[in-house]
Amino acid sequence: MRLTSLCLVTGLVAIAFATSANAMPNVAPSRVTGLVAAVFSPLNASGSLDISVVESQARDLSLSGVRWAFVAGTTGESVDLTLEERKELAVAWAHAGPKHGVRVIIHVGADSVRSARDLAAHAQSLPAVWGIAAMPPSYFKPADVDSLVTTMGYISSAAPNLPFLYYHIPSMTGVNLDMVDFAEAAQDRIPEFAGIKFTHDDLEQLQLLVAMGKANSKLSILFGRDQFLLSALVLGVHGAVGSTYNFAGSLMNSMVAKYEQGDIESARELQLAHADLIRRVTQWSSATNSNGMKELQNFIGRPRVGQARLPFMEDNASERSELRQSVAQWCMDFKDCADWCSHLRDE
């Protein structure tokens, strides 16, 4: 199929795109552009945090052309980590990221706003942290835009020297307020407000937010649905945060490069390959109640990050074999789209 030959020639394009968009200058950028990996929190066999892996994670991201890390978000199992673990993880990334040209955003959201403020202040005390982000409390939820702005302002004021991103992910938090109204109010009431990580499929709101970003160069509107990043690019998005950029950054940088070159058909085919991979992993996760993205990272030739904590279930050898077979079939269907297809680990 045409996609085979396409993927054979996009590797160098991906590297060039990533370098021009994300290379680390001496002065921190005012906004986030390019791919941002929502990094996994590495756990050892006993389920304890293993920060020794962070260095290799940062190095691997840089080599794949991904120059931003979003630490301890949904992919990073933030709500399953203790506050001390989250601080330990933040310290590790604040030191490892800059060594490899990877800028660091620390997620500080928690159900306790006092805990979130504590994490925000801690992030500000660390070297080379670009900014912080927070999802809203999800048990006692903000009921309207006013309470959401007030809550986020309370959290971000603990780190007044860092840009603040609101993390909108209603599928997980149940907080699904109008983000256009929120952004308008936040620009007036939250001095640190620097944009939104928009993990939602409401493209009407997304395009209105992008228009705000064009009018205010301080705002970063970051798209969080990896499987249709191309749709967001058409609407004008210049940055994206996702779990799959941990292991498929080169593929998606290639897709972005093809889009920017005006080769829409090639960009569509690369996006299709990525969406098909996500579908396979998501279906496996639903069938096993396990964390498929983390398991994929473990056997795809990337730094091992362990299994996820409860309530995710620990997968067994038979289930892991099923996922490997599914991904191996993907590699046959979309040959050479990912250089890691030849590096599948047995265990």
Active-site amino acid positions = 167, 197
Q: What is the DSSP string of 288-339?
A: HTS-HHHHHHHHTTS----PPPTTSPPP-HHHHHHHHHHHHHHHHHTTTSSG
The Cα–Cα gap between 74 and 79 comes to 8
Pairing of strands 129-134, 193-198: unpaired
For residue 311, cis peptide bond before it (omega within 30 degrees of 0): yes
Q: Describe the crossing of helices 317-333 and 264-288 by its angle, rounded to 10 degrees.
A: 170
Q: Report angle CA 313, 303, 73 to the nearest 5 degrees.
A: 60
Q: Indicate the burial class of 331 (C-beta count within 10 angstroms; 0-12, 13-18, 19 or more).
A: middle
How many residues in total does the chain contain? 347
Phi/psi region, residue 174 (left: phi>0; alpha: psi -120 to 50; beta: rest), is left
Amino acid at 266: S
Comparing CA positions, the residue from 73, 94, 15, 121 lying closest to residue 222 is 73
